[in-house]
Every structure is written in C-alpha cells, then in structure tokens.
Structure 1
Amino acid sequence: MEIVATSLIAVLGTLLGSTLTYVFQRRTSLRAEQFTRVERLRQERIDAYSAYAGALTEYRRGQMDRWFARNDGRAVEAETLHEMRREAQRLRTAAMEAMFRAELLTHSTDLHGLGRQALKEIDRIPDARSRDELEPIRDTSRASIYDFVAASRQHIPGTADGGPQ
C-alpha cells in the first residue's frame, strides 16, 4: 500500500510540476508576444511619422523652389516652370502617401488634423504674390511640420512623453 501511495504522490507531483511549468511558460510567451507587438508598432510609427515629416519638408522645399523660380524676377523658361510644377505635384503625392500611412497607424484625430494642416499650409506657398506675403506662409508651414512632429511623439510608446513603456 505504501508503494501505491508513494507512486500516486510521485505522479501527482509530476503532473503538478508539468502544469505549473506550462502556466509559467505560457505567461512568459504571452508577455514576449505582447512586447514584440508593441515594439513593432513603435518602430512602424517612428518610421511612418518621420517619413511623413520628411515628405512634408521635401514638398515644402519643392513649393519654395517653384515660388522663387516664378517670382524671383529672373526670366525662367516656361518649360522649366512646368517641370517644377510637376515636381511639386510629385512631392505632394509622396507626402499624401506618407500621410495615409501615418494615419493608418494611429487613431488620434488630433494628429491626423495636424498632419493635414501642415499639408494645407504648404499648399498655400504658391499663392503668395510677394516676398512679404511669402514670409508668414513660409513660417507657418515650417511651424506646422514641427507641430506634427512634436505631437507624434505622444503616440510612440517608450518615448519620454509617449505612451506606456
């Protein structure tokens, strides 16, 4: 009888040990998966937000080049102006693609609004009729890009002012 009891205790101990090992390994595995998901989202957001800010900056540069070519007082061929307009359109398309990617990675309507506002501010650059009109539009467009970047930090986990670490 003692042998049966000893065997039964050994079997129950083994089952309990196996069950506890499974529970702890499963918990560890879930934590690792969650960490991987959060880190992947973090990296994707960093890539998307910085790509969008870069695309906005390039689009702004293209608009400024176009404005100066058209309004600088030097004679510029119509073909060159047309090429610059096409380049600005290409840069705007690239900025919009980057904007869509950034918007897909966050649910913040505030961040979406800041990104779209920056694009609108840059769109206004060709409308300036003089250098005096250009300066405030230029400053506002630059500030809008900076505002988007500053706000995007709040949506990147693990940054100083971002989400949970």
Structure 2
Amino acid sequence: MVTSLVAILGTLLGATATYIFQMRTAKQARQSAREERLWQERLATYSTFASALTDFRKSQNDRWHREQENSQSAAYATARDESYRQRANATAALYRLRLVTTNPELDSLASLALKLTEEIHDATDEQDRTGRGRKARRALLDFTQAAAVDVQQLHI
C-alpha cells in the first residue's frame, strides 16, 4: 500500500514538473518568436524610411532644378507634384517608424532628416541647395547609423 502511494505521488510529481517545464519552454518560445518578429519589423521599417527619404531628397533636388529652369513650366509642376508624393511617402514611413521603435533618439534623428530634406527646395542658389542636400544626407546617415546599432542590439 505504501509502495502504491509512493508510486502515485511520484507519478503526480513527475507530471506536475513536466507540465511546469513545458509551460516555461512554451513561454520562452513565444517570447523569442515575438522578439524575432519585432527585430524583422524594425529592420524593414528603418530600411523603408531610409529609402523613402532618399527618394524624397532626389525629388526635392529635381523640383529645385525645374523651378530654376522655368517655374511656370509643366516640368516644374510635375516635379513639384512628385516631391509632394515623395514627402507623403517619407512622412508615412516616419509614422510607421514611430509605431515600432521605443528609441527616442531614432525618432528625433528621423524627424530631423525629414525636416532637412523638406527644406532643400527652398534653397536660394546652387551653393545653398548643395549645402542643404549635404545636411539632409548627413542627417539620414546619422539616422541609419543609430538604427543599425538599435537592430544589432536587439538581435544579440
């Protein structure tokens, strides 16, 4: 009788321990999968923002050049409309970035890069446009360097 009780208690203890370990393992697996998805989402979002900002900067330069040629031309109107479209894409990418990052430095760097890119078409002459373009490009580089650190730390 005592042997039967010991066997039953041993079985119950073993089943309970197995259940606890399986629950812990399942929780860890879910956490790892969540972290991997977050890492992938941040990587994709940061890349999308950098690409959108690069396209926006190109459109701003084109807009400036078309305006210098003839601000009343259809080519300028097309370039201006394209810059508006690219700004909307870059702004949407910034909002998506804000949804996936908890890093205020990245938000600040991304916002600055967008702001500096928006200002390119306001240049007064070629030298001013070149300087504004360099500042915008540098701001994007600063963002991508900080974003690289963020995604590399997440994936360790």
Task: Tell me, in whole angstroms, the C-alpha distance in 2 between the residues paired with 1:62 and 1:164.
Answer: 34
The structural deviation recorded for 1:86 is 0.7
Task: Tell me, in whole angstroms, the C-alpha distance in 1 between the residues paired with 2:33 and 2:90.
Answer: 29
Q: Is 1:149 paired with 2:151?
A: no
- Paired residue for 2:44? 47
Q: Which residue among 13, 18, 30 is the counterpart of 2:15?
A: 18
Q: How many residues align?
A: 156
- Paired residue for 1:138? 133
Counterpart residue identity of residue 113, structure 1: S
| 8 A Cα contact 2:39 2:154, kept in partner | no
| 8 A Cα contact 1:106 1:155, kept in partner | no
The structural deviation recorded for 1:39 is 0.5
- Paired residue for 2:115? 120
Q: Is 1:34 paired with 2:28?
A: no
The structural deviation recorded for 1:109 is 2.0
- Paired residue for 2:94? 99
- Structure 1 stretches of at least 4 aligned residues deviating more than 4 Å after TM superposition: none
Q: Which residue among 63, 66, 72 is the counterpart of 1:66?
A: 63
Task: Tell me, in whole angstroms, the C-alpha distance in 1 between the residues paired with 2:63 and 2:91.
Answer: 19
| 8 A Cα contact 2:39 2:155, kept in partner | no
Counterpart residue identity of residue 24, structure 2: R
The structural deviation recorded for 1:35 is 0.3
- Paired residue for 1:56? 53
Over residues 81-140 of structure 1, what are the superposed CA-to-partner deviations in whole Å (9 max), with x where a residue is unaligned?
111111100000000000000011112222111111101111111111211111211111
Task: Tell me, in whole angstroms, the C-alpha distance in 2 between the residues paired with 1:97 and 1:135.
Answer: 26
The structural deviation recorded for 1:164 is 6.5
SS of 2:143's equivalent in the other structure is: helix
State TM-score, norm by structure 1.
0.89
Greater Cα radius of gyration, structure 1 or 2: 1
The structural deviation recorded for 1:77 is 6.1
| 8 A Cα contact 1:111 1:151, kept in partner | yes
| 8 A Cα contact 1:114 1:147, kept in partner | yes
The structural deviation recorded for 1:76 is 7.6
Segments of structure 1 that go 5 or more residues without pairing to the other structure are none
SS of 1:107's equivalent in the other structure is: coil
Task: Tell me, in whole angstroms, the C-alpha distance in 2 between the residues paired with 1:13 and 1:107.
Answer: 48
Return 77-86 or 112-121, whichever deviates more: 77-86
Over residues 30-78 of structure 1, what are the superposed CA-to-partner deviations in whole Å (9 max), with x where a residue is unaligned?
110110111111011001111001000000011111112222x5x5862
Bigger share in helix: 2
